[in-house]
Structure 1
Amino acid sequence: MRYLLCTGLLLAAASASYAQGALPEPTPDMATVVFYRPPMLAQAGVNFTVRANGAELCRLSNKRYFVAKLKPGETAFTSVAGGLNIPDQDKFDLNLEAGKVYYIQGDVKTRLMTVKMVFTEVTESTYKKKNADLKPDNCEVAAPAESK
Structure 2
Amino acid sequence: MRSMFSRSIVLSLLMLPAMSMAQEANGTTAAATAAPAANALIAAAPQDKGQIVFFREPKFVGAAVGFKVREGEAELGKLRNGRYFVVTAEPGKHEYNMHGETKDVLTLEIEPGETYYVQASIGMGLVAGRPNLAPSDEATFLSKKLKIAD
For residues 78-101 of structure 1, what are the alpha-carbon distances to aligned partners after superposition, in whole Å with 9 as ceiling and x for unaligned? Answer: 0124xxxx9x72211111111100
Unaligned runs of 5+ in 2: 1-38
Please say if 1:25 is aligned against 2:39.
no
- Give the 5 Å matches for 1:81-100: 81=100, 89-100=103-114
Higher relative contact order (CA 8 A, sep 6+): 1
Percentage identity across paired residues of the two chains = 30
SS at the partner of 1:112? coil
Please say if 1:118 is aligned against 2:132.
yes
For residues 14-53 of structure 1, what are the alpha-carbon distances to aligned partners after superposition, in whole Å with 9 as ceiling and x for unaligned? Answer: xxxxxx9423211111111000000111221111010023
Deviating beyond 2 angstroms after TM superposition, the runs of 4 or more aligned structure 1 residues are 20-24
Q: Distance in 2 between matches of 1:71 and 1:78?
A: 17
TM-fit CA distance, 1:120: 1.1
Q: Distance in 2 between matches of 1:108 and 1:24?
A: 27
- Kept in 2: contact 1:72–1:97 (CA 8 A): yes
Unaligned runs of 5+ in 1: 1-19, 139-148
SS at the partner of 1:128? helix
Q: Distance in 2 between matches of 1:97 and 1:89?
A: 25
Specify the alignment match of 2:88 in structure 1: 69
Q: Distance in 2 between matches of 1:77 and 1:125?
A: 22
TM-fit CA distance, 1:54: 2.7
The structure that is helix-richer by fraction is: 2
- Kept in 2: contact 1:108–1:118 (CA 8 A): yes
- Give the 5 Å matches for 1:5-16: none
Please say if 1:59 is aligned against 2:74.
no
Code of the residue aligned with 1:94 in structure 2: it is L
- TM-score scaled to structure 1, two decimals? 0.69
TM-fit CA distance, 1:127: 1.3
Code of the residue aligned with 2:73 in structure 1: it is G
- Kept in 2: contact 1:53–1:75 (CA 8 A): no
- Kept in 1: contact 2:104–2:133 (CA 8 A): no
Please say if 1:103 is aligned against 2:122.
no
